[in-house]
Amino acid sequence: MQQYKFTIFCLSLLILFSNTLNAEQLITPLKNKPLAPNLQLPDMDGKTHKLSDYKGQAVIINFWATWCPPCREELPSMNRAWAKIKSQGIAMIAVNVGEDEDTIFTFTGDYPIDFTILLDQSGEEISRWPIKGLPTTFVIDPQGRIVYRAIGGREWDSEELLNLVRALK
Amino acid sequence: MKIQHLSFIFSLLFWQVSQAEITKTISPETQLIEWKFIEHNFELKLIQRLPDQTRSFFEARGFPKNITNDIANSCVFQTISRNNSKDKSQSIQVSLKNWKIKTDQKTQPIKLKEDWQKQWTNSNLKPAAKLAFRWATFPTEQSFEPSGDYNWGMISFGPKPGSTFDLYIEWKNNDQRNRAWIKNISCPKS
């Protein structure tokens, strides 16, 4: 009986340990916190947005395309996250890479996006950011520095993840 | 007895982190084959793409037919790479420059996105098409942090539709270089 208790104890420790580690697997903190490039792009209505317009706020900025499967997978969770944070002084921006308004408009019929979408049709803006693949998401602090990066999709409406962003305010 | 239990648990842990695992599955819907490789927390999935799939993807983004045919007939796979490490210090680096394929005839490097782009230097390819190609193909070099980082992208391995090849892969766990072969990968037929 004691043997079983000991085995169960050891296995419980292992499970607890692995869960603790999983909780930390969210987004990557950037040690040097580089200044974010001052992005300047039009939205779907042609109005220009600058990243500097959001100074003083934490900003989640996601680079994506409609043809990118993990982008399509994570966007619903970003939209749910937006519903939670929009009244909390946090901004969320989706920068579409290389596509036109019509393509994005059709896409948002199936995948509603209620936060700001900016268009980088020429791909000039994305080339100024440290990005190798889509989707890539950055979290910018109120001082305009990149503090977190996520390569590939995440569940952005997770409270644990959003609390990291809320803590920047 | 306690020591026996502990050694069992530690051997289980060791087995989890040291064994390479390669699985091959066929999608019941598409009949396309997926190879999944896991070793030292590096996960790699290679999913067959039909030449027609690749052709229509690039045609829809403004590529002329001759170029889409070249790409589609170069054994393109959808590739997904992931860092599965739970250790916060375990970064994974991948450079496709070190990957090779071996066919009956020869061993050769894979065709990188830069090789394709060089081929089109003097073509009148639209900027939007070049942009789609750049972002839809797998990065030649990339680091994956242990915070759930992963990436998708197409890789063109080169052989003709219906060919079979062995793939040599390399990756680094921090500075530790690892290598492996994935055998008998088949390019889907037209």
pTM reported for the whole predicted model: 0.86
In a domain, A156, yes or no: yes
Lowest mean pLDDT among A13-17, A84-88, A100-104, B50-54: A13-17
Task: Identify the CATH number of the domain in which residue A91 sits.
Answer: 3.40.30.10
B17/B60: higher pLDDT? B60
C-beta of residue B49 within 8 angstroms of C-beta of residue B188: yes
In a domain, A132, yes or no: yes
B162–chain A Cβ distance below 8 A for any pair: no
**How many domains is chain A partitioned into structurally?**
1
Cα angle B38, B39, B41 (rounded to 5 degrees) comes to 90
In a domain, A142, yes or no: yes
Q: Give the ipTM of the model, two decimals please.
A: 0.85
Q: Smallest CA–CA separation between A16 and chain B, in Å? A: 13
In a domain, A55, yes or no: yes
Pick from A127, A63, A41: which is nearest to B130 by CA?
A127
B86 pLDDT band (50/70/90 cuts)?
confident
What range does the domain containing A119 cover? 26-166
Q: Long-range contact list for A71-77, CB < 8 A, 24+ apart?
A: A71/A134, A71/A135, A71/A153, A72/A111, A73/A153, A74/A135, A74/A153, A74/A154, A74/A155, A74/A156, A75/A111, A75/A113, A76/A111, A77/A153, A77/A154, A77/A155, A77/A156, A77/A157, A77/A158
The reply to whether residue B139 touches residue A28, judged by beta carbons under 8 angstroms, is no
Q: How far apart are CA B190 and CA B183, in angstroms?
A: 22
In a domain, A2, yes or no: no
In a domain, A11, yes or no: no
Statement: residue B6 has pLDDT above 90: no
Domains located in chain B, CATH noted: 27-186 (2.60.40)
User: Pick from B57, B88, B131: which is nearest to A98 by CB?
Assistant: B131
User: Pick from B86, B128, B149: which is nearest to A22 by CB?
Assistant: B86
In a domain, A17, yes or no: no
